[in-house]
Chains A and B, each alone.
Chain A
Amino acid sequence: MKHLLKFFFFSLAANLALADEVQVAVAANFTAPMKAIAADFEKDTGHKARLAFGSTGKFYAQIKNGAPFQVFLAADDTTPARLEKEGMTVPGSRFTYAVGTLVLWSAKPGFVDARGEVLKKGDFAHLALANPKVAPYGAAAVEVMEKLGVLESLKPRFVLGENIAQTQQFVVTGNAELGFVALSQVMKNGKVGEGSAWVVPAKLHTPIRQDAVILASGRGNAAAEALMKYLKSARAAAIIKSYGYAL
């Protein structure tokens, strides 16, 4: 009996001592999958991930100014690399947690064909994309159009969203007939929901690598390390893929 009790208290204490919290900054486009992953993460490990969603650029500025995030899931690979160069991360912790898939989407069914010929036909007034200066999906969209030889002719019709969420708003409300957004935004139950879409082949643009990294303030945080490990697990991979990302 005494041994049973000792064992009980020991494991309880061990669990309590081991259960940590980690503050995570997450790129807005990864909101839905991350929520699902965090829920499973807590169930499986007991650690709790506190999530904050926002634009990568803003997170960079906040982190540089001392924001208390311990793990950073960016929308690109350049920002984590920059932080690494500036010594704000745990070296060696950076890896690509997802690869974004670009999709040309319209709220109107039948407007976008399955091969993106609508771009060459040019039968529209406004084409929405994320600001290529600040959003990787926007930069990728520009690359695609350049490769297809339609960039110059379509440029006057660009409307720029600050991020892909806003870009999608332009298209959903019909103000832009079509636009380049992330596949994860328009996926429902494993395929494109409403409207019409062309899933852009990955070879047409530089891969949209989304990197994760442990920040300096997360050094030694058991939950941070556990989260990074969890993101590479099969469980997480399944979730990520189901939201339209590649790995």
Chain B
Amino acid sequence: MLSDANLAAILLTLKLATLVTVILLLVGTPIAWWLARTRSWWKGPISAVVALPIVLPPSVLGFYLLVAMGPNGPVGRLTQALGLGTLPFTFAGLVVASVFYSLPFVVQPIQNAFEAMGERPLEVAASLRAGPLDRFFTVAVPLSSPGFLTAGVLGFAHTVGEFGVVLMIGGNIPGVTRVVSVQIYDYVEAFEYADAHILSGIMLAFSFTVLLAMYLLNPTRTHK
């Protein structure tokens, strides 16, 4: 039932989504922390930039990434100067693009959780001799854990479902950038509907299971 091509696409997609989610949790948490606590007037503009991928059509984002990462664009010139070549058509390029594209889906839940927690628990921790990093890991993170969980799931799911951006800069290379969403699209375009159904069905079942698990395991349901 699962052809080699399909399996390759699925594994590639999972690899991409996992890597992107981990990166976003690491990169997005400090951003969310700053946004939740700053009183600088930069908060507005930065929030808007972070939220852009929600409203931008993926093809727009993909196109600008294509230009920027290409040999004539600022990012492309940088990667070439570093001896890394250019990012389009590479798995690394997909990771970079997906990180941009899924950023708000990870940052916003974490930011909301930090804001909901407020200042008080951190003040208490400070009065109990906890330094800044200590406070963050022993108080902020546990109290915001539902936000982290939501962010991780949303980031993962959003990357799995991503299509427009991957299409624009992926180049559809088997085993490298041919992710499931593009594979399904190709099946439809080539009238191979049976394969399209199979792959879509698998992704649908997988996504549903993941989301269901998240909602069932969500800690806020078990607090008093």
Interface residues of A (CB under 8 A from B): 55, 57-58, 60-61, 82, 125-126, 128, 131, 133-134, 158-162, 166, 169-170, 173-176
CB-CB contacts below 8 Å: B121-136 with A: none
Contact of A133 among B86, B167, B186 (CB under 8 A): B186
Per-residue interface assignment for chain B, residues 56 to 99, with 1 indicating a CB less than 8 Å from any chain A CB and 0 otherwise: 00000001001101111100100000000110110000000000
Chain B: number of interface residues, binned into ranges: 20 to 34
Chain B residues whose C-beta falls within 8 Å of the C-beta of A128 in the assembled complex: 171
Q: How far is the CA of A134 from the CA of B186 in the complex (A)?
A: 7
Q: Which residue of B lies closest to A79 (CB)?
A: B191
Chain A residues whose C-beta falls within 8 Å of the C-beta of B168 in the assembled complex: 166, 169
Whether B190 pairs with A159 at a CB distance below 8 angstroms is: no
A174-B171 contact given A162-B185, A169-B63, CB 8 Å threshold: no
Whether B173 pairs with A160 at a CB distance below 8 angstroms is: yes
Chain B residues whose C-beta falls within 8 Å of the C-beta of A82 in the assembled complex: 191
Contact of A162 among B73, B172, B191 (CB under 8 A): B172
Q: How far is the CA of A166 from the CA of B185 in the complex (A)?
A: 15
Whether A166 pairs with B89 at a CB distance below 8 angstroms is: no
Per-residue interface assignment for chain B, residues 171 to 192, with 1 indicating a CB less than 8 Å from any chain A CB and 0 otherwise: 1110000000000011011110
Q: Which residue of B lies closest to A177 (CB)?
A: B71
Contact of A134 among B63, B85, B171, B189 (CB under 8 A): B189
Q: How far is the CA of A159 from the CA of B63 in the complex (A)?
A: 16
Chain B residues whose C-beta falls within 8 Å of the C-beta of A60 in the assembled complex: 191
Q: How far is the CA of A169 from the CA of B70 in the complex (A)?
A: 11
Whether B190 pairs with A133 at a CB distance below 8 angstroms is: yes
Whether A159 pairs with B173 at a CB distance below 8 angstroms is: yes
A57-B191 contact given A134-B186, A160-B171, CB 8 Å threshold: yes
10 closest residue pairs by CB, A with B = A159-B171, A57-B189, A134-B189, A160-B172, A173-B70, A175-B88, A175-B70, A174-B71, A133-B190, A174-B70
Whether B191 pairs with A173 at a CB distance below 8 angstroms is: no
Whether B171 pairs with A57 at a CB distance below 8 angstroms is: no
Chain B residues whose C-beta falls within 8 Å of the C-beta of A166 in the assembled complex: 167-168
Whether B189 pairs with A133 at a CB distance below 8 angstroms is: yes
Chain B residues whose C-beta falls within 8 Å of the C-beta of A134 in the assembled complex: 186, 189-190
Q: How far is the CA of A125 from the CA of B89 in the complex (A)?
A: 11
Q: How far is the CA of A204 from the CA of B186 in the complex (A)?
A: 26
For the A-B complex with A131-B189, A162-B167, A174-B70 known, give 7 more contacts whose Cβ atoms are closer than 8 Å.
A57-B190, A57-B191, A61-B188, A125-B85, A133-B186, A159-B172, A175-B88
Residue of A60, A160, A169 ringed by the most chain B CB atoms within 10 A:
A160
Whether A170 pairs with B186 at a CB distance below 8 angstroms is: no
A122 to chain B, nearest CB (A): 17
Q: Which residue of B lies closest to A61 (CB)?
A: B188
Contact of A173 among B72, B172, B185 (CB under 8 A): B72
Q: How far is the CA of A82 from the CA of B193 in the complex (A)?
A: 15
Whether B66 pairs with A173 at a CB distance below 8 angstroms is: yes
Q: How far is the CA of A142 from the CA of B152 in the complex (A)?
A: 42
